[in-house]
Amino acid sequence: MKVVFMGLGYIGLPTATVAANKGLQIVGVDINARVVDTINQGKIHIIEPGLQELVRNVVTAGNLRASLVPEEADVFLIVVPTPFKGGNHEPDITYVEAATKAIIPYLKEGNLYIIESTSPVGTTEKMMQLIYTERPELKNMIYIAYCPERVLPGNVLYELEHNDRVIGGVNEISTEKAIQFYSQFVKGNLHKTNSRTAEMCKLTENSSRDVQIAFANELSLICDKAGINVWELIELANKHPRVNILQPGCGVGGHCIAVDPYFITADFPVESQLISKSREINNYKSFWCAEKIKNTILEFELKHKRKPIVAIMGLAFKPNIDDLRESPAKYIAQKVMQAELDGLLIVEPNISEHPVFKLTNYEEAYGKADIVAFLVAHNEFKALPWKEDKVILDFCGIFKK
């Protein structure tokens, strides 16, 4: 079976590689010539544990080849980003559209076309119309489905194979064909539905997590005012057999949870009150942390008649990764930089250098700083000793004090 993957990014490349490793013939198409060259040399342009070795193997074996242009195949997968339009939160499906238009000339009877990109409800049906408008002779001659990915960055290779997947065709036969396709490389259960439900399911999963984190973040604000340790509170509440509260932090980042809920609120603004408010709360939490650090700096100056040395601990969007995309910690660090301190030490143990931030070793920064703001719960930080002589702002539960 020959498969064309449109998009070789954080999801496209690992999925293409896993499928190639199971013996499928994969052509990965990307608009970026550097990405295509890198992969054809058996190297990778993204960071994901275990991926480099697997890509080298499948490229050497001839099962994965990257290209700038599509070609005829049995299956076509669309795995491109769906960003926002301009500065507002309206989903932009032009990449999905462009990738679809690029493969339309290569489609033939019996082909399977699948969208994996996170998409607003109704996108798969829209793309079906686009295909049939340009190629009316293919109507009901090809299979069309939506199948979202749900892998966790950092654990992608394992989860690609083992997670259950939701597969929604535009009709039953399309669902069946897509199930047959994924069963070649997915061990998890494959659940059948229609394309609209599958689209909404992806948005629902990430919105659900966003709403639950917003609840934890709201609790953290209440507890700060009430003089209650939020970490202890949540641990105790979670002893109830039917309560499972997530952890507060310095906001919600990454390319998924802080983004996907807007795909619902943009299309259903009246109905999505809770989802919309949760986005606001999680964004506000980052602003609140930055303000808290700035106020602590002012209090220190008043008390000690000198500017403090401040350590910002962590820049990544979540613990133990080197990914700074859409990171609330990075946003907070930038806000604190505006305070123009002489002694601002920025720490991110998972990266060695950064174009904007001058990085300091985490132990050195912790030793030198008067005020320490923990933004990301990296494992390295959890091993640091509690120091009475410092002002510690623990936004992510390092010491849970």
**Whether 256 contacts 206, CB under 8 Å:** yes
Which candidate, 12, 158, 142, places its Cα nearest to that of 77? 12
Considering beta carbons, is residue 156 or 392 the nearer one to ligand SAJ? 156
Among 209, 292, 294, 335, binds ligand SAJ (CB under 6 A): 209
Angle at CA of residue 339, ends 399 and 391, nearest 5°: 25
Among 152, 222, 228, 236, binds ligand SAJ (CB under 6 A): 152
Is 155 a residue that touches ligand SAJ (CB under 6 A)?
A: no
Known catalytic residues are: 202, 256
Considering beta carbons, is residue 138 or 221 the nearer one to ligand SAJ? 221
Is 380 a residue that touches ligand SAJ (CB under 6 A)?
A: no
Is 218 a residue that touches ligand SAJ (CB under 6 A)?
A: no
Region from 41-49, 149-157, 229-237, 264-272 binding ligand SAJ, contact rule CB under 6 A: 149-157
Rounded to whole angstroms, the Cα distance separating 209 from 204 reads 9
Angle at CA of residue 388, ends 319 and 352, nearest 5°: 35
Angle at CA of residue 273, ends 271 and 275, nearest 5°: 105
Structure tokens at 140: 């009901």
Is 220 a residue that touches ligand SAJ (CB under 6 A)?
A: no
Structure tokens at 108: 């033939």
Considering beta carbons, is residue 142 or 157 the nearer one to ligand SAJ? 157
Which candidate, 124, 119, 157, 154, places its Cα nearest to that of 19? 157
Residues 230-289 contacting ligand SAJ, CB under 6 A: 246-247, 249, 252-254, 256-257
**Looking only at Cα atoms, what is the longest distance across the chain?**
79
Residue 260: partners with Cβ closer than 8 Å, 6 or more residues away? 118, 202, 203, 206, 207, 210
Among 75, 127, 151, 346, binds ligand SAJ (CB under 6 A): 151
Give the binding-site size for ligand SAJ (rule: CB under 6 A).
19
Is 91 a residue that touches ligand SAJ (CB under 6 A)?
A: no
Is 205 a residue that touches ligand SAJ (CB under 6 A)?
A: yes
CB of 208 to ligand SAJ, least distance (A): 7
Considering beta carbons, is residue 28 or 249 the nearer one to ligand SAJ? 249
Structure tokens at 150: 């749900």
Burial of 203 (C-beta count, 10 Å sphere; 0-12/13-18/19+): buried
CB of 16 to ligand SAJ, least distance (A): 16
Which candidate, 287, 372, 381, places its Cα nearest to that of 332? 287
Considering beta carbons, is residue 24 or 315 the nearer one to ligand SAJ? 315
Residues 302-341 contacting ligand SAJ, CB under 6 A: 317-318
Q: Which residues sit at the interface with ligand SAJ, rule CB under 6 A?
A: 149-153, 205-206, 209, 213, 246-247, 249, 252-254, 256-257, 317-318
